[in-house]
């Protein structure tokens, strides 16, 4: 299920998870007549256009009106449809958070909120469109499931997963083109995760989601070069988290790096820290955006500017391995 050519540069075909998302809507739409798709004037950018062209009777353009779109989706779900409401995540759930809270989460109806365009990798559009707080917003909401796509095929598969759950779901889908980590056969389940790199006797675990999964794999390669064994897990189900897998690997290795294109507050780093506080206290380092907004630029240069890259994950991994050693020495004394 993992692409075997992942490190072969000339065999890598970068594709956007949003293309996978669009394809996923189309494929699920062909087998599930209850699926309806809504956008707020972003059919092209969100790739909902694929579905709109094949199923015009089940596609609804709501205009530049995200709050109207999600409340409409709530009503469609109350009636018996399964709506996927697509926009940029800065607008939805950014602008629509209260409507989602009241009419979808508290109301407990099956709506998929699809947030396309996430993080600084949105690029030239700048901070207004570079959503870095969405997971924090949605993870704190009762009844809400939070999923994050890392590449093209996870984009495809996560639509199937989200629609099939018949629950309130937030699905985060990046715009930037990314190497294919998964093959078509990859599987994704609620509360699941995928171990995408595993060395024997790993001394550090890298937990990542979304755009940072590939960089985590690159970091694993760098660590291997320095004879450091490592495990990389794609925690695509942010809520509920795959507690069993995460705890098993992290307790065994003894230290952790969390890499995500999100604010440090409220994302996977927070989720994991909460987990460790209640179970096994472990040293954790975060690769994320630290209490700041993004800015205009090219995706790769922005990722580098904010330290969202393999080199930084590598550095944090070395640091947390050392922290772990110091803690062990202290406890021996």
Alpha-carbon span 262 to 259, nearest angstrom = 9
Q: Judged by CB under 8 A, does residue 3 bind other proteins?
A: no
| Near other proteins by CB under 8 A: residue from 6, 28, 49, 73 | 73
Contact stretch for other proteins (CB under 8 A) within 98-106, 172-180, 189-197, 316-324: 98-106
CB of residue 63 vs other proteins: minimum separation in angstroms? 7
Q: Which is nearer to other proteins, 41 or 199 (CB)?
A: 41
Does position 67 bind other proteins by CB under 8 A? yes
When asked if residue 76 is in the footprint of other proteins (CB under 8 A), the reply is yes
Among 58, 221, 228, 315, binds other proteins (CB under 8 A): 58
Interface with other proteins, residue 39, by CB under 8 A: no
Which of 7, 79, 290, 293 touches other proteins (CB under 8 A)? 79
Q: Does 68 bind other proteins (CB under 8 A)?
A: yes
Number of residues that bind other proteins (CB under 8 A): 30
Active site residue 66: yes
Nearest distance from residue 173's CB to other proteins, in Å?
Answer: 23
- The answer to whether 20 and 60 are in contact (CB under 8 A) is no
In whole angstroms, how close is the CB of 50 to other proteins at the nearest point?
20
Select the span of 55-63, 165-173, 209-217, 257-265 touching other proteins (CB under 8 A): 55-63
Pick out residues in 185-214 that bind other proteins (CB under 8 A): none
* Secondary structure in 3-state letters for the chain: CECCCCCCHHHCCCECHHHHHHHHHHHHHHHCCCEEEEECCCCCCCCCHHHHHHCHHHEEECCCCHHHHHHHHHHHHHHCCEEEEEEECCCCCCCCHHHHHHHHHHCCCCCEEEEECECHHHCCCCHHHCECCHHHHHHCCCCCEEEECCCHHHHHHHHHHHHHHCCCEEEEECCCCECCCECCCCCCCCCCCEEEEECCCCCEEEEECCCHHHHHHHHHHHHHHCCCCEEEEECCEEECCCHHHHHHHHHHHCCEEEEEEEECCCCHHHHHHHHHHHCCCCCEEEEEECCCCCCCCCHHHHHHHCCCCHHHHHHHHHHHHHHHHHHHHHHHC
Q: Which of 70, 120, 241, 250 binds other proteins (CB under 8 A)?
A: 70
Q: How far is the CB of 44 from other proteins (least distance, A)?
A: 19
Task: State in angstroms the smallest separation of the CB of 67 from other proteins.
Answer: 4
Active-site positions?
Answer: 66
Interface residue list for other proteins (CB under 8 A): 36, 57-58, 60, 62-63, 65, 67-81, 83, 98-99, 102-103, 106-108
């Amino acid at each position: 299920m993992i692409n075997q050519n992942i490190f072969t540069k000339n065999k890598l075909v970068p594709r956007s998870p949003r293309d996978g998302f669009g394809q996923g809507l189309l494929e699920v739409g062909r087998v599930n007549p209850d699926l309806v798709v809504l956008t707020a004037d972003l059919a092209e950018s969100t790739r909902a256009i694929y579905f709109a062209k094949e199923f015009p009777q089940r596609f609804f353009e709501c205009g530049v009106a995200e709050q109207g779109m999600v409340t409409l989706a709530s009503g469609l779900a109350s009636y018996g449809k399964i709506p996927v409401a697509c926009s940029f995540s800065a607008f939805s759930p950014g602008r629509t958070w209260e409507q989602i809270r009241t009419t979808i989460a508290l109301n407990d109806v099956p709506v998929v909120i699809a947030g396309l365009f996430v993080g600084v990798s949105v690029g030239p559009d700048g901070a207004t469109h570079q959503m870095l707080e969405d997971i924090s917003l949605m993870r704190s909401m009762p009844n809400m499931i939070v999923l994050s796509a890392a590449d093209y095929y996870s984009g495809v598969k996560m639509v199937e997963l989200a629609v099939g759950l018949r629950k309130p779901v937030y699905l985060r889908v990046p715009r930037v083109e990314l190497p294919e980590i998964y093959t078509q056969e990859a599987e994704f389940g609620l509360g699941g995760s995928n171990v995408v790199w595993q060395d024997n006797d790993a001394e550090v675990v890298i937990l990542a989601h979304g755009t940072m999964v590939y960089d985590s794999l690159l970091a694993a390669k760098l660590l291997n070069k320095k004879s450091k064994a490592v495990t990389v897990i794609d925690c695509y189900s942010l809520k509920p988290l795959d507690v069993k897998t995460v705890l098993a690997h992290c307790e065994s290795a003894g230290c952790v790096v969390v890499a995500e294109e999100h604010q440090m507050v409220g994302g996977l780093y927070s989720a994991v820290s909460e987990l460790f506080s209640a179970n096994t206290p472990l040293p954790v380092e975060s690769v994320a955006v630290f209490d700041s907004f993004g800015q205009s630029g090219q995706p790769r240069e922005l990722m580098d500017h904010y330290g969202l890259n393999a080199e930084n994950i590598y550095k944090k991994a070395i640091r947390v391995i050392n922290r772990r050693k110091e803690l062990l020495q202290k406890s021996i004394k």
